[in-house]
A and B are shown apart, each in its own frame.
Chain A
Amino acid sequence: MKKNIGKTRIGFFSLSCCEGCELAVLELNRDFVNALGFVEILESRILREKNPEQELGIAFVEGSIVGKDDLEKIQKIRQRSKFLVAMGACATIAGIPGIRNSLPEKTKSALPLHAVKKPLAAVHRLSDFVKVDFELQGCAINEKEFLKILVQLHHGFFPRLEEVPVCKECKEKENPCLLLKGIACLGPVTYAGCDALCPGVKAQCIGCRGFTKDANFASLKSMFKEFGLKGNEIKNLFTYFNNNPFEKGGF
């Protein structure tokens, strides 16, 4: 291992999104200030006045690719950064902007897309077009997870990818199971890391952290049908966040 690693040069970028993930990073408060000891923020729309384009160690990118200008922007960022980390539901699973993909054709044509310069036919996540080294899930991201990944990458270690469903953390938190009460919850097919925030307050999981690779959709769908949900309601629940055109949980 090198003795003096030096500061890691990072930048934050926003495509089509609410920029909430970048704000979530600021919620680290004291830890954020401490992190400035080993990190240099070179580009950020919120934190810096001038943002000249520079070589970067890690680029954190939030938001999904809606139009051609988003696409050009992300390709440029990829070229000048060593690591690219997709941040938040929009960047990893197309998220809220991606609801457009799941709408019926009639509604889709009525959308005011003239606001977007050269809109693409569908809303995409980052990994559809560029190589993404790591994905930080969630809407908004878990700031502690962000810090963990930042520190690991800074030391030159690749973070371990946890493939754990929300149910695991929900049981650790000792919450009563919503599925056992007949409430349609996406916990068993969604990545954990959120400390089971929604089931902890008796709200169903709506899958903002993306579906696990190992998800058993068939079993969960038949369970929801037993609960009395109609086909359309099930589809709406599954495509609340998970709207990537190539991978939508069977829809």
Chain B
Amino acid sequence: MNIFQASNCPAWKFLNDFCVIVLGYFLKKKNLLPYLEFLQEENGLQAIVPVVNSNGATCFEELSKENSENLFLDSKAFFSAKKFFLPNREREFLFEKKAASFEIHETIKHRHKVLFGLRSCDLHALNALDKVFLDFYGYDSLYRNKRNTVLTIGLECLKPEKNCFCESFGTSKPDFFDLFFWEKKDGFFVEIGSPEWEKLYCKKFFEKTRENRNSQKENCSLKLETKNIAELLEKNFENPVWEKESEKCLSCSSCTQICPTCYCFAIEDFFIPGTEDSERYREWDSCQLQQFTRINAGIFRQSRKSRLRQFVMHKLSFFRQQHNVHLCVGCGRCIDACPAKISLVEIASQIQKNPIGAD
């Protein structure tokens, strides 16, 4: 973590805002692509970059000759980089049948990756996933193996999109990165964020600079008052807003699929045809689907209202009680993706306006 951000002392804040001397370099804009190719060829890293894919959607893909012209750096990608840490379908292990027992085989092979173009919200989303899979319940080996082989390069957002509300959660300040690229005139100011940055250093392209990381970022137009929101939502469990909004909901699960912090998954075993061995797979699941809560006695989150409420409450209330951060990072992807135009911010602000059980 960056020392300047760790401190809340006013003097430090002053230094941080006005006369910071952060160790950093300068990278010219025309050198960006050669730099990424350098990382791929010389350092042997798999470069993952935001691109416009063949269908016309913006997502993260491996840099190749075909897509190097389609780099997408204007704003955040529609699909987040979650799939590189939690793939939508992943084999956990294979269990081979022996005479009286089973033998478990795991395959752990991951190429070292560098994820370029993560926005500040994406970096904070990764931190939230780390809290779940690395800190809280012990650790998840599948996640850890992938997380430890990834280096991150952040990229500054100059112009937030219409559904961005990262400032409300304080996630507009970048953190948890290895390198961060601040947008400057015809180049980037490169800030160093972790000791691992040396793996990303390139003598040829990184120049010494007198630039600083002062940002000209515009403010988000969408705002959410996050003070005491966890407690407020808890008290408004039966607010009529839930019922009203859920009438529009299609339960298509787009919001949870596209959210950079949604991590719920289902586990299923499959027989391999023609043998007696089986494989265990892990797949994305979604709280918006009835099958998510199916147990032997039935489905306990049967109504659409209860499922929509679970999504919003987990983002803004339940997770905070467990991990002390909000699971929402304010990227606004769920609002972008919802065909029924249901907005998490809208629901929360409606409850703030008309709370029930207010003393």
Chain A residues with CB below 8 A from B289, complex form: 163-165, 168, 214
User: When the two chains form the complex, which single residue of B79, B252, B290 contacts A188, counting CB atoms closer than 8 Å?
Assistant: B252
B88: A residues at CB distance < 8 A: 172
Interface of B is mostly: loop
Q: Is the CB of A219 within 8 A of B254?
A: no
Partner of B247, one of A34, A202, A214, A219: A219
Total interface residues on A, using CB and 8 Å?
Answer: 41
* Interface pair A200/B271, CB less than 8 Å apart: no
Q: Which of A151, A157, A172, A176 contacts B273 (CB 8 A)?
A: A151
Binding site of A, secondary structure by majority: helix, strand, loop or mixed? helix
For the complex, is A48 an interface residue (Cβ under 8 Å from B)? no
A151 to B286, CA, bound (A): 26
Contact pick for B57, options A164, A165, A175, A187, CB 8 Å: A175
Cβ contacts under 8 Å, B248 to chain A: 219
B202 to chain A, nearest CB (A): 30
Alpha-carbon gap, A223 to B338, bound state (A): 12
Mask of A114-152 contacts with B, CB within 8 angstroms, 1/0: 000000000000000000000000000000000110111
Docked-complex contact B249 and A216, CB < 8 angstroms: yes
The answer for the CA separation of A172 and B53 in the assembled complex, in Å, is 13
Shortest B270–chain A CB gap in Å is: 7
A220 interface residue per 8 A CB criterion: yes
Interface string of A8-45 (1 = CB under 8 A from B): 00000000000000000000000100110110000000
B79: which A residues are within 8 A, CB to CB?
Answer: 171, 174
Known A-B contacts A168-B253, A168-B257, A219-B248; the reply to A35 vs B273 at CB < 8 A is yes
- Provide the bound-state CA to CA distance between A220 and B247, in Å: 11
Cβ contacts under 8 Å, B253 to chain A:
164-165, 167-168, 171
- Bound Cα distance from A4 to B234, whole angstroms: 55
> Within 8 Å CB of A162, what residues of B?
291
Q: Is the CB of B339 within 8 A of A177?
A: yes
Answer yes or no: A155 CB below 8 A from chain B CBs: yes
Contact residues in A for B268 (Cβ distance below 8 Å): 160
> B residues within 8 A CB of A34?
273-274
- With an 8 Å Cβ cutoff, the count of chain B residues facing the other chain is 34
Q: Which of B54-110 contact A (CB under 8 A)?
A: 55-57, 59, 78-79, 88-89
Chain B proximity of A182: nearest CB distance (Å): 10
CA–CA, A200 to B55, complex, Å?
7
**B49 within 8 A of partner (CB):** no
List residues of chain A with CB within 8 A of the CB of B254. 167-168, 171, 177
Contact between B273 and A147, CB atoms less than 8 A apart: yes
Q: Which of A172-203 contact B (CB under 8 A)?
A: 172, 174-177, 179-180, 187-189, 200, 202
Contacts of B284 in A (CB 8 A): 168, 172
Q: A168-B286, A174-B55 are in contact. Are A219 and B252 (CB under 8 A)?
A: no
**Contact in complex: B251, A165 (CB < 8 Å):** yes
Closest to A148 in B: B270
Contact B53 A174 (CB under 8 A): yes
Tell me the complex Cα distance, A175–B254, Å: 12
B309 within 8 Å of A by Cβ?
no
Nearest-Cβ distance from residue B82 to partner chain A, whole angstroms: 11
B273 with A171: CB separation less than 8 A:
no
Query: Given A163-B289, A177-B339, A214-B289, 20 more contacts at CB 8 Å?
Result: A31-B273, A38-B274, A148-B270, A165-B251, A165-B252, A168-B254, A168-B286, A171-B253, A172-B257, A172-B284, A174-B59, A175-B55, A176-B55, A176-B56, A187-B252, A188-B252, A214-B251, A219-B247, A223-B339, A223-B340
* CB of A213 within 8 Å of the partner chain: yes
For residue A160, which residues in chain B have a CB less than 8 angstroms away from its CB? 268
Q: Which of A35, A147, A213 contacts B290 (CB 8 A)?
A: A213
A161 CB to closest chain B CB (Å) equals 8
A-B contact pairs, 17 of them (CB 8 A): A151-B271, A165-B253, A167-B252, A167-B254, A168-B284, A168-B286, A171-B253, A172-B88, A172-B284, A174-B53, A174-B57, A176-B78, A216-B250, A216-B251, A219-B247, A219-B340, A220-B250
Pairs of residues from A and B, 7 with the lowest C-beta to C-beta distance, nearest first: A167-B252, A188-B252, A179-B339, A171-B257, A188-B250, A176-B57, A172-B88
B190 partner residues in chain A, CB cutoff 8 A = none
Cβ A171 vs Cβ B258 within 8 A = yes
Does B344 lie at the interface of the complex (its beta carbon under 8 Å from any beta carbon of A)?
no
Chain B: minimal CB distance from A177 (Å)? 6
Q: Closest residue of chain A to B59, judged by CB?
A: A174
Q: How far is the CA of A213 from the CA of B59 in the complex (A)?
A: 31
| Interchain nearest-CB distance for B93 vs A (Å) | 18
